[in-house]
Amino acid sequence: MIRHTREGRNLEVLINLFNGRLYRNPGRFVINTKAADLFRGSLMEQQKKYADITLLLEGTYPFVRGGVSGWVHQIIEGLPQYTFALIFLGSKKKDYDAQKYVLPDNVVHLECHYLWDHFSLSKPKACKGNNEYILASGKLHDWFRNPCSGFKEAVLKELLVSLGQPSGFTAEEFFYSEAAWQQICECYDKYNAHNSFIDYIWAIKAMHTPLFKLASVAHQFAPATGTFHAVSTGFAGFLGLLLHYITGRPLILTEHGIYTKERKIDLQSIFIREHRDLLGDVLHMGMQYQELLWIRFFESLGQLIYKASNPIISLYETNRERQITDGADRVRTQVIPNGMPIDRFLDLRAQRPEKIPLVIGLIGRIVPIKDIKTFIRSMHTIVTHLPEAEGWLIGPEDEDKAYVQECKTLVQELGLEEKVRFLGFQKISDMLPRLGLLVLTSISEAFPLVILEAYASGLPVVATDVGACREIIEGSSDEDRALGCAGIVIPMADPEATANAVITLLTDEDRWYSAQKAGIQRVERYYTQSRMLDSYKTIYDRALTQ
């Protein structure tokens, strides 16, 4: 009569982790949803397929809109000389509607797998379990705990290739065998002996379930592939890792954010929420251990994937450094920033009024992570110095209604009703020429495309020192820095500094124009779509000839 509520909770944690990722960043891309079914039908007819590149996509393209999805679409569309196969990994099938993008013609294959949908196992039946495999994997786990020591890649390869296979270690062996049970008990005794055992064992089971699922996906993957390209570490990266070892084809990794770091933040917020419910519960020490387990799980996945991937690409320097600290080999790392199709913005540049408009724009969703309140507070200071100035908040308000209300109340409290306008969702090309400055007060960003869009339309930027913002504003290489600053970098959550930066730029015309010039030059030199596509073309060509 053991009730498996733990299983449910672990699953929920996972789904939360997953969905937290999926539903952030609703994108700004035009969507067209037909053709998907037609497309699938025609695929069925082909027998043995070949794709130059198989993209491994976790919770993004083509079912979810967003920055990463837009980037994937850009790559596929911009490199028509290659054929692409797509493997989409989702949480549960019901979480996704129709495809959000029309797949370009050079996509020859799409398959979808849902990690938290029911995993079909044979009925529980006692078995012995492959002890050798467990021993070897135990050593691998020791390496996860202490990554400083070395681990033989041949052993790793052997372990991964036979994962889920009768010759190695099947899912049934993991879930039912006595050997697995012994191993779990031993590890528990060694590392976690005082905490809730049922939470521990369900966490372990929940963690490994997707790995077995991915192993079966990898072994069933039919199309021949020139190179695999994972668009994150995590589960997509793990699938790439398995495919890489199974087929011997190279694995390329592009990380937009830092997966491990994002998972940590998600986990913390989930467990903080849980702890609030469990206040006073003596078991919460166990939960803390579980939290650590999960974090190490994702870290370990990351390490394995870094070990196998070449090159390891990030969007900007800070993330590259982070990857190196997390275990990526420096030689393999590389920065390829996002690129913009600049041409669309030339018109906008022409539309700019003669005089610099005293309009300070913040383009983004009205949510706490964008720290809209700091923007509003800074407007208070700005209007005392520049009475004609206005602040525009441009972005959808439907995600966090309570926060929007708080912001509107703050505006009233500061008497800024005339000065701060909530414009809701707008077409960016209509807005950019009417702004005098773009301000980003976010407390977290990765690589905000909006800054590039602002540059391309001839607009300087004031942004907090998060993500790639400093690199984009001040330049990353020496050569880049020589172009000058395209705006001002400000500290986080500092209305005074924000106001000062805005006032400085809006009152000093020379500085404003030199920032505009730097921005245009920078985006045209470093952040064009063609530059990005060229970089990937080089990487793909190298991988395909390996």
Partner 1 sequence: MAGIGFRLRELMKTDTLSGLLQAYGFAGIIGSGPWVLSIIGVLLIGIINTEDFFTPSFVGQFQISVTYLMAASLIITGPLQLMLTRFIADKLYEKHDEQVLPNLTGAIFIIIIVSGTLAGLCLVYLFTGSVLYRLLMLSSLVILSTIWIVVIVLSGLKAYREILLAFLLGYGITVLVAMELGAFGLEGLLSGFVLGHSILLFILLVVVFNSYSSNKLIAFDFLRRSQIFPSLAITGLLYNLAIWADKFIFWFNPKTSNVIISPLRGSELYDLPIFLAYLSIIPGMAVFLLRIETDFVEQYKKFYDAINEGAPLKIILQIHEEMIITIRRGFIEILKIQGMTTVILLAIGDKLLAWVGISPFYKVLLNIDLVAVGIQVLLLAVLNLLFYFDYRKDALYLCLLFAVSNIAFTLLSQYLGPVFYGYGFAMSVLLTTLVGIVMVSIRLNRLVYETFMLR
Which segment (72-80, 171-179, 315-323, 461-469) binds partner 1 by CB under 8 A? 171-179
Rounded CA-CA distance 70/100 in Å is 10
Residues present in the chain in total? 546
- Interface with partner 1: number of residues (CB under 8 A): 26
**Collapsed DSSP state (helix, strand, coil) of residue 463:** strand
Binder among 101, 176, 375, 447 for partner 1 (CB under 8 A)? 176
**Closer residue to partner 1 in complex, CB, 48/118:** 118
Rounded CA-CA distance 308/141 in Å is 17
In one-letter notation, the amino acid at residue 190 is K
Contact call for residue 121 and partner 1 (CB under 8 A): no
Minimum distance, C-beta of residue 15 to partner 1, in the bound complex (Å): 22
**Closer residue to partner 1 in complex, CB, 1/148:** 1
Task: Tell me the CA distances in angstroms from 519 to 176, 187, 454, 456, 462, one per residue in order.
Answer: 60, 55, 8, 7, 12
Contact call for residue 178 and partner 1 (CB under 8 A): yes
x/- binding map, residues 2-41, to partner 1, per CB under 8 A? xx-x------------------------------------
Contact call for residue 279 and partner 1 (CB under 8 A): no
Minimum distance, C-beta of residue 195 to partner 1, in the bound complex (Å): 6
Contact call for residue 124 and partner 1 (CB under 8 A): yes
Provide φ and ψ at 160, rounded to 5°. -70, -40
Binder among 15, 161, 201, 295 for partner 1 (CB under 8 A)? 201
x/- binding map, residues 280-309, to partner 1, per CB under 8 A? ---x--x-----------------------
Contact call for residue 137 and partner 1 (CB under 8 A): no
Contact call for residue 125 and partner 1 (CB under 8 A): yes
Which segment (120-128, 154-162, 228-236, 321-329) binds partner 1 by CB under 8 A? 120-128
Task: Tell me the CA distances in angstroms from 458 to 117, 164, 450, 464, one per residue in order.
Answer: 48, 55, 12, 20
Which segment (182-190, 238-246, 337-345, 458-466) binds partner 1 by CB under 8 A? 182-190
Minimum distance, C-beta of residue 189 to partner 1, in the bound complex (Å): 7
Rounded CA-CA distance 423/404 in Å is 12
* Helices 131-145, 178-191: inter-axial angle, 10-degree rounding: 20
Provide DSSP, 100-123.
SSPPPTTEEEEEEEETTSPPP-PP
| Residue corresponding to tokens 């199974």 | 246
Contact call for residue 185 and partner 1 (CB under 8 A): yes
Minimum distance, C-beta of residue 167 to partner 1, in the bound complex (Å): 22
In one-letter notation, the amino acid at residue 487 is G
Contact call for residue 154 and partner 1 (CB under 8 A): no
**Closer residue to partner 1 in complex, CB, 3/355:** 3
Residues 192 and 200: beta-carbon distance below 8 Å: yes
Residues 254 and 229: beta-carbon distance below 8 Å: yes
Structure tokens belonging to residue 71 = 């980037």
**Collapsed DSSP state (helix, strand, coil) of residue 387:** coil
CB count in 10 Å sphere of residue 125: 9
Rounded CA-CA distance 41/219 in Å is 23
Contact call for residue 183 and partner 1 (CB under 8 A): no
Which segment (181-189, 220-228, 294-302, 425-433) binds partner 1 by CB under 8 A? 181-189
Structure tokens belonging to residue 371 = 């720290």
Contact call for residue 177 and partner 1 (CB under 8 A): yes
Structure tokens belonging to residue 86 = 């797509």
Provide DSSP, 272-325.
HHHHHHTTT-TTHHHHHHHHHHHHHHHHHHHHHHHHH-SSEEESSHHHHHHHHH
CA torsion through residues 441, 447, 451, 453, sign: negative
Contact call for residue 179 and partner 1 (CB under 8 A): no
Which segment (27-35, 122-130, 244-252, 337-345) binds partner 1 by CB under 8 A? 122-130
Contact call for residue 422 and partner 1 (CB under 8 A): no
Contact call for residue 175 and partner 1 (CB under 8 A): yes
Binder among 31, 35, 135, 193 for partner 1 (CB under 8 A)? 193
Residues 409 and 330: beta-carbon distance below 8 Å: no
Contact call for residue 189 and partner 1 (CB under 8 A): yes
Contact call for residue 131 and partner 1 (CB under 8 A): no
Binding residues for partner 1 (CB under 8 A): 1-3, 5, 124-126, 175-178, 180-181, 185, 188-189, 193-199, 201, 283, 286
